[in-house]
Amino acid sequence: MRVTVVGAGSWGTAFARVLLDRGHEVTLAARDPDQARVIAATGRNPRYATGIDLGAARVVTTGALTGDAELYVLAVPSQAFAAVAAALPDGAPVLSLTKGLDPATGDRLSLHVGDRRAAVLSGPNMAEEIAAALPTAAVLASEDGFLAGELQHALNSATFRVYVNPDVVGVELCAAAKNVIALAAGAVDGLSLGDNAKAALITRGLAEMSRLGEACGARQETFSGLAGMGDLIVTCWSRHGRNRHAGELIAQGRTAEQAVAEIGQTVEGLTTAPVLRDLSRRLGVELPITEGVCAVLDGQSIGELLSRLMGRTPTEE
């Protein structure tokens, strides 16, 4: 298959390697011309996942895409997704790797691909481990069963196991919401509040993700699967988790901007948190952890927030 991966960050780079290992003809599109030139000349990404050999890939800039791809894979920040999708040169299907919501509209990102067939890939997929060819499982969701099966066959391997799921709504909501919960989990780490507190937060985070999913018509079993519980666990615990790390830094006194600068990569939870909060308010769904993350980002002290959350009236689980 001829596949164009748009986005040369750590996830786009690692996924390009997954495709190359499966024998596909891969074009990697980078936004920065200097980055594209270095990758083309050396076969290595100078910024992200630098150990991955990309020598077999064709490298272009995003402004130089041609219409010969059979599949476009979008691994770009959520705030750029709609514009990038609109600029794709032809009607080939889109596979989204981006875990977030559109910050301008609050929409799920797959709604911005127009009339193209679309699929989304999610799950506990830390790019650093995929780059090292460590065993990984992912879930691929599409309303087009034929496309889902075709992509499952194209991607599945001995180190990258792919399951299919028709619940696009649930998979995309899980992918967005788990990053916000991971910010809070990182704050638990930054304040040294312990494993009990972190496990409780993750569990209650899954509960609020599930409530939102139910209100949006998602399947509840999606939230106990790879896209939900699986991705939430790894994002909240892994040392590679950018959102967890950002929450940790913010709890230690950095601003959100300082945390992003120190991490050096996109932290989707910071963009998604207010979008998710606004969506939940429109739907009348209570998301106390998400509300708390937004309150801290708006200037509330974490100590005050912790007292408020722990002081909530006890209820049934």
**Token digits for 65?**
């895409």
In whole angstroms, give the CA distance from residue 10 to residue 88: 21
Looking at residue 206, its pLDDT comes to 98
Mean pLDDT of 199-224: 96
Q: Tell me, what's the pLDDT at 64?
A: 87
HSE at residue 160, side-chain half, CA atoms within 13 A, is 27
pLDDT band at 305 (very low <50, low <70, confident <90, very high): confident
CA distance 96 to 73: 6
3-state secondary structure the chain: CEEEEECCCHHHHHHHHHHHHCCCEEEEEECCHHHHHHHHHHCCCCCCCCCCCCCCCEEEEHHHCCCCCCEEEECCCHHHHHHHHHCCCCCCCEEECCCCECCCCCCEHHHHCCCCCEEEEECCCCHHHHHCCCCEEEEEECCCHHHHHHHHHHHCCCCEEEEEECCHHHHHHHHHHHHHHHHHHHHHHHCCCCHHHHHHHHHHHHHHHHHHHHHCCCCHHHHCCHHHHHHHHHHHHCCCCHHHHHHHHHHCCCCHHHHHHHHCCCCHHHHHHHHHHHHHHHHCCCCHHHHHHHHHHCCCCHHHHHHHHHCCCCCCC
Q: What's the whole-number average pLDDT of the chain? A: 95
As a whole-number percent, the residues of the chain with pLDDT over 90 amount to 91
pLDDT tens track for 56-98: 999 999 888 888 899 999 999 999 999 999 999 988 999 999 9
Residues 19-40: pLDDT tens digits? 999 999 999 999 999 999 999 9
Active site residue 178: yes
311 pLDDT above the threshold of 90: no
CA–CA separation, 268 vs 81, rounded Å?
A: 12
Mean of pLDDT values over 135-145? 97
The single-letter code of the amino acid at 44 is: R
Q: Which of 99, 108, 117, 178 is catalytic?
A: 178
